[in-house]
Homo-oligomer: A and B are copies of this chain.
Amino acid sequence: MELLKQRILRDGKILSKDILKVDNLINHQIDPQLMMAIGVEFARRFAYTRANKILTIEASGIAPALMTGYCMGIPVIFAKKSQPSTMQNVLSSPIHSFTRDKDYTIVVSTEYLRPGDKVLCIDDFLAYGSAAQAMDNIIKQAGATSVGLGVVIEKKFQGGGDKLREQGIHIESLACIEELADGKITFTD
């Protein structure tokens, strides 16, 4: 997605060969017009799936998931990183965050994912694939079907995307980064 790539080139900050900081458009400050364009693009690419629900993970996944859900006319569920006292029956899966070097568990209420649901996963980043794998686990636990994964930015060099593609998951990444080196972002063609 050309608009997104241009914004990443203009506003992204390369903190190391592993970390791209985009907290002025996605992770802390959000550009709502860009997010809507992202939603339109995901909706176009995944229209064929006839998904009836979107799953994401709080907090940075919510904005792209919400706009995609708006464009597709389907509800969005965001997995929580801690279980609220008001939520009883949950599906859960562990995640390892490499950026924060921390393990945590995401939870989704059993009320909102049901057998027969066709679920599209949306997230901000795809790096090692741990978050995507956790969403997939939760969808399987619910007896529902995962119909694809849309990520705003894929860091291809961290291998998560290729691993998931080998499992047969249809992934669409709107900006796919081949390499972060010498202060330069190289996109995959």
Q: Give residues in A with beta carbon < 8 Å to B.
A: 15, 19, 21, 23-24, 28-33, 35-36, 58-59, 62-63, 66-67, 69-70, 73-78, 80, 84-87, 99-100, 108-109, 111-112
A32 with B111, Cβ < 8 A, contacts A23-B86, A59-B62, A86-B15 known: no
A28-B80, A76-B30, A80-B28 known; A35+B86 contact, CB < 8 A? no
Residues in B neighbouring A78, C-beta threshold 8 A: 28, 30, 59
Question: Separation in Å of the A6 CB from the closest CB of chain B?
Answer: 17
Q: Which residue of B lies closest to A19 (CB)?
A: B86
- Report whether B32 and A69 are in contact in the complex, using a CB–CB cutoff of 8 Å: yes
The answer to whether B70 touches A32, judged by C-beta atoms less than 8 angstroms apart, is yes
Residues of B within 8 A of A36 (CB): 70
Given contacts A32-B67, A33-B70, 6 further A-B contacts (CB under 8 A): A28-B78, A29-B77, A29-B112, A32-B74, A62-B63, A63-B66
